[in-house]
Amino acid sequence: MKVQAEIIIAELFKRWLGKKAENVQPIAASGSPRKYFRLTSGNLTVLGAYNPDFKENAAFLSFSKHFHSIGLPVPEILAEDTGKGIYLLSDLGDNTLFGLLTARDNRDHITEDLYTQLAEAVKILPHFQLNGGHGLDYSLCYPRDTFDRQSMMWDLNYFKYYILKTSGITFDEELLEEDFQHFTDFLLQADHEYFMYRDFQSRNVMLKDGQLFFIDYQGGRKGALQYDLASFLYQVKAHLPEATKNSLVNEYLNALEGIVNVEREVFMKYYYPFVYLRLFQVLGAYGFRGLFEKRPHFTDSLEPAMSSLAELLKTHPMHAGLTELKSVLKKLTHSSKYLPVHKKKSALTVTIRSFAYKNGIPEDPGGNGGGFVFDCRALPNPGRLEEYKAFTGRDKEVKEYLERQREVDFFLHNVFEICDAAVGNYIDREFKHLSINFGCTGGQHRSVYCADKLAEHLQKKYVIHINLQHREQQISETKQGKHE
């Protein structure tokens, strides 16, 4: 479908502008089936989107036009062909608020400039929730027009089936279902007549020319105010310090009070329960994408998400009752078979190398004559495409190409499982060295990318020494793995 989507989007661009695009460049895929392309003509750039889910398209297009018409900072819809599931929209670039958050050296510190950007985002949020909801066509909301009991139970069951039932912990399912019902009874007491963005997080806040823009609101519906703020402040990989979260809650409430009367005590009564619900939804999504779709990016996100849940249980315990749910969460955050956490220091050194098969498989530097050799030659080869020949697996263009290939996701998922088992075993047995090699035709693209991804994965998960080498690129790096 990739080639076909590219062709029909290019045709739409030509109809809209009156001339052909000079370049149509795919943009790295996310967790959804939507495909994005950047089209250029001279100094003009726009984004083209293909989505086979026509109902979702209808919601996005209608919401975008409505928000844009009342001055909210969203992309402008330039052209559309709803029968083909494609549309063009203004190009907001590649910089996101999430990018600024993940680029900081110290995750316990938020600079003044970054805080200003975060505060601006939460101050704009009430304008979406209140002003944006006026005149919105809620009949186009997909899959439901209200974040009601059914929606909440979907999220809770997502969590139950893709996390709890795969974790190995024991629980009484009937009692847990009763707690889910009591939990949703409580949440439904909150006023839910506002526009709920549903996926309000820093990934969906774009930065262009010093201004914030907002995307990915097509899952919006009527709901409670607290949910979106919880989504933003408890985004797992944003790693916002507790003091920053508390300060941003006040920034949000001050902005909200500029539009509508707010009883802060009532707002906060429901706020942290909605934080729990959002984390349950996120964990369920990570479990599905990572464990069942075998996508390493989501599997690696499970541990920090579980850490966020554990911290929340300490700082803001769940309210009275919900005995089985509390018991389940305690067990889950203390032990999980698919989330081994190795915090003890180890003398293990893992040597990870990329190489070209034409120059032979590297020898094991540990002197054991063993280790793993993974053949990347069955993966899609960017080296066969003219636009990638001059790059390596460390360049953005090649990384984005390989990130779009599901075969690469499956390959790395299996590699990570094999290597995690070996590394954990070697740490327990106090071994000193493990050799892991990735080979491809030229040792330039696929093997380099896979070696880097494994090094990144192990560095986050274990306290070990990592010796990363790209033989054909003559690059060698030493890293100290650390569990975050």
353 and 317 within one domain: no
Evaluate whether residue 341 is within a structural domain. no
Sorting pLDDT into bands at 50, 70 and 90, what band is 303?
Answer: confident
418 and 316 within one domain: no
For residue range 436-468, list pLDDT tens digits in order.
Answer: 999 999 999 999 999 999 999 998 888 899 999
Q: How far apart are CA 92 and CA 49, in angstroms?
A: 13
Task: Kindly provide the b/e burial profile for residues 164-182, where b requires at least 16 CB atoms within 10 angstroms of the residue's own CB.
Answer: beebebebeeeebbebbee
Give the contacts of 131 (CB within 8 A, at least 6 positions apart).
Answer: 70, 72, 259
pLDDT at 337: 54
Evaluate whether residue 143 is within a structural domain. yes
394 and 323 within one domain: no
Evaluate whether residue 340 is within a structural domain. no
Beta strands in 160-315 (DSSP E): 194-196, 205-208, 211-214, 221-223
For residue range 93-136, list pLDDT tens digits in order.
Answer: 999 999 999 999 898 999 999 999 999 999 999 999 999 999 99
Q: How far apart are CA 414 and CA 159, in angstroms?
A: 23
Task: From 56, 50, 59, 128, select the one nearest 89 (Cα to Cα).
Answer: 50
Residue 352 above 50 pLDDT? yes
307 and 169 within one domain: yes
pLDDT at 343: 59
Domain containing 209 equals: 97-334
For residue range 53-105, list pLDDT tens digits in order.
Answer: 999 999 999 999 999 999 999 999 999 999 999 999 999 999 999 999 999 98
First to last CA, the chain: 39
pLDDT at 399: 93
For residue range 277-290, list pLDDT tens digits in order.
Answer: 999 999 999 999 98
Sorting pLDDT into bands at 50, 70 and 90, what band is 32?
Answer: low
Q: Count CA atoms closer than 13 A to 479's CA, side-chain side.
A: 23
Q: For residue 156, what is the enclosing H or E element? A: helix 149-159
Give the contacts of 451 (CB within 8 A, at least 6 positions apart).
Answer: 352, 353, 354, 393, 436, 438, 468, 470
263 and 407 within one domain: no
Q: Quick check: helix, strand or coil at residue 373?
A: strand
147 and 101 within one domain: yes
Question: How many domains would you assign to the chain?
Answer: 3
Write the CA distances from 377 to 59, 418, 480, integer angstroms.
42, 19, 29
CB 283: neighbour CB atoms within 10 A? Answer: 24
Give 238: exposed, middle or buried? Use CB within 10 Å, 0-12, 13-18, 19+: buried
103 and 241 within one domain: yes
pLDDT at 156: 98
Q: Which of 298-307, 427-436, 439-448 has maximum average pLDDT?
A: 439-448
Q: Which of 90, 118, 152 is the last residue of a domain?
A: 90
What's the whole-number mean pLDDT along residues 375-381?
Answer: 97
Evaluate whether residue 238 is within a structural domain. yes
Task: Kindly provide the b/e burial profile for residues 462-472, where b requires at least 16 CB atoms within 10 angstroms of the residue's own CB.
Answer: bbbbbbbbbbb
pLDDT at 479: 75
More confident residue, 422 or 3: 422
| High-pLDDT (> 70) share of the chain, % | 96
DSSP character string of 399-423: HHHHHT-HHHHHHHHHHHHHHHHHH
CB 387: neighbour CB atoms within 10 A? Answer: 12
pLDDT at 167: 87
The domain spanning residue 300 has which CATH number? 3.90.1200.10
Q: The pTM is what? A: 0.82
41 and 119 within one domain: no
Give the contacts of 30 (CB within 8 A, at least 6 positions apart).
Answer: none
Task: From 111, 47, 108, 113, select the one nearest 80 (Cα to Cα).
Answer: 47
Look at 121-125, 183-187, 308-312 and tell me which has the smallest mean pLDDT: 308-312
The domain spanning residue 45 has which CATH number? 3.30.200.20
49 and 81 within one domain: yes
Evaluate whether residue 343 is within a structural domain. no
pLDDT at 423: 92
Rounded to the nearest 5°, which phi and psi values hold at 354?
-105, 150
Q: Quick check: helix, strand or coil at residue 44?
A: strand
Rounded to the nearest 5°, which phi and psi values hold at 206?
-90, 150
CB 48: neighbour CB atoms within 10 A? Answer: 28
Evaluate whether residue 339 is within a structural domain. no
Q: Quick check: helix, strand or coil at residue 331?
A: helix
Q: How far apart are CA 189 and CA 27, in angstroms?
A: 42
Residue 1 above 70 pLDDT? no
What's the whole-number mean pLDDT along residues 221-247?
Answer: 96
What's the whole-number mean pLDDT along residues 391-399?
Answer: 94
Evaluate whether residue 413 is within a structural domain. yes
329 and 263 within one domain: yes
Q: Which of 59, 90, 121 is the last residue of a domain?
A: 90
Looking at every residue in the chain, the average pLDDT score rounds to: 92
For residue range 254-278, list pLDDT tens digits in order.
Answer: 999 999 999 999 999 999 999 999 9
Residue 338 above 70 pLDDT? no
Residue 336 above 60 pLDDT? no
Q: Which of 334, 357, 392 is the last residue of a domain?
A: 334
Residue type present at position 239:
H
Residue 3 above 70 pLDDT? no
Q: Count CA atoms closer than 13 A to 403's CA, side-chain side.
A: 18
62 and 21 within one domain: yes
- Answer yes or no: are the C-beta atoms of 421 and 372 closer than 8 Å: no
432 and 307 within one domain: no
State the sign of the Cα–Cα–Cα–Cα dihedral 52, 53, 54, 60. Answer: negative
Sorting pLDDT into bands at 50, 70 and 90, what band is 484?
Answer: very low
Residue 30 above 70 pLDDT? no
For residue range 466-480, list pLDDT tens digits in order.
Answer: 999 999 999 878 777
